[in-house]
C-alpha cells in the first residue's frame, strides 16, 4: 500500500510534464522570438533621432533590431518627455517628480513609402527630490535611461508582434 502511494507520487509529475510537453507541441505553439521571426527584425532600421535621449534610444533599438540603412523598413520615432511635480511638502516644494516619456512609432515600408504600422508607447519613472542637487540630477538621468530602455523593449516587442501577425496572415 505504501509502495503504491510512493510510486504514484513519483510517476504523476513525470506524466503531467510529458502531457504538457506533447500538448503544447500539438497546438502549434511557437515562441515569439523563434529564429524565423528574428529575421524580420533585421529588416528594420532606426535613423538618427534628435538630442542625447534620441541617441540613447536609437542605440538600444539598433542592438535589438540590427537593421542596416538599406533595410526594407525604417522606424521613425518621435518622443516627448513630461516632468510633473507631485507630493508636495508643507513649504509647497515638490517631494517627488514623475518623468513620463512618450514615443510615437511609424514603421515605414521603403518600397511603398507608406506607414505600415503605427503605435504610441509610454514609460514612467518616479524621482525623489532630496536636498542634494547632485543626487536629484543623477536620479533624473537614471529615470531617463530607465524610460528609454523600457521604450526600446516595448517597441521591439511590438514590431516583432506585427511581423508575427503578418506571417500568420500570409500563411492563411
CA–CA gap between residue 32 and residue 133 (Å, rounded): 44
What pLDDT does 120 receive?
Answer: 97
- List, as one string, the DSSP characters of 78-108: EEEEEEEEEEE-TTS-EEEEEEEEEEEEEEE
Taking the whole predicted model, whether its pTM rises above 0.85 is answered as no
What pLDDT does 28 receive?
Answer: 59
Domain regions of the chain by residue span: 1-30, 33-171
pLDDT (tens place) for every residue of the chain, 172 residues total? 555 555 666 767 777 777 676 666 555 556 655 555 567 788 899 999 989 999 999 999 998 888 788 889 999 999 899 999 887 778 877 788 899 999 999 999 999 999 999 999 999 999 988 888 898 899 999 999 999 999 999 999 999 889 888 877 777 6
CATH number for the domain whose boundaries are 33-171: 3.30.160.150
CB 77 within 8 A of CB 151: no
* Set of cell numbers at residue 117: 504600422
* 63-33-36-157 Cα dihedral, nearest 10 degrees: -60
The closest alpha carbon to 57, from 32, 75, 39, belongs to 75
Amino acid at each position: 500500500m505504501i509502495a503504491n502511494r510512493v510510486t504514484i507520487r513519483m510517476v504523476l509529475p513525470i506524466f503531467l510534464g510529458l502531457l504538457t510537453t506533447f500538448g503544447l507541441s500539438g497546438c502549434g505553439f511557437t515562441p515569439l522570438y523563434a529564429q524565423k521571426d528574428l529575421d524580420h527584425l533585421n529588416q528594420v532600421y532606426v535613423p538618427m533621432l534628435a538630442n542625447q535621449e534620441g541617441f540613447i534610444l536609437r542605440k538600444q533599438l539598433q542592438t535589438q533590431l540590427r537593421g542596416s540603412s538599406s533595410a526594407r523598413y525604417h522606424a521613425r520615432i518621435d518622443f516627448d518627455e513630461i516632468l510633473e511635480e507631485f507630493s508636495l511638502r508643507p513649504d509647497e516644494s515638490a517631494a517627488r517628480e514623475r518623468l513620463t516619456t512618450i514615443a510615437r512609432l511609424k514603421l515605414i515600408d521603403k518600397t511603398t513609402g507608406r506607414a505600415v504600422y503605427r503605435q504610441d508607447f509610454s514609460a514612467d519613472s518616479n524621482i525623489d527630490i532630496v536636498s542634494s542637487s547632485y543626487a536629484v540630477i543623477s536620479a533624473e538621468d537614471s529615470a531617463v535611461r530607465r524610460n528609454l530602455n523600457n521604450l526600446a523593449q516595448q517597441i521591439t516587442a511590438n514590431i516583432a508582434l506585427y511581423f508575427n501577425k503578418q506571417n500568420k496572415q500570409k500563411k492563411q
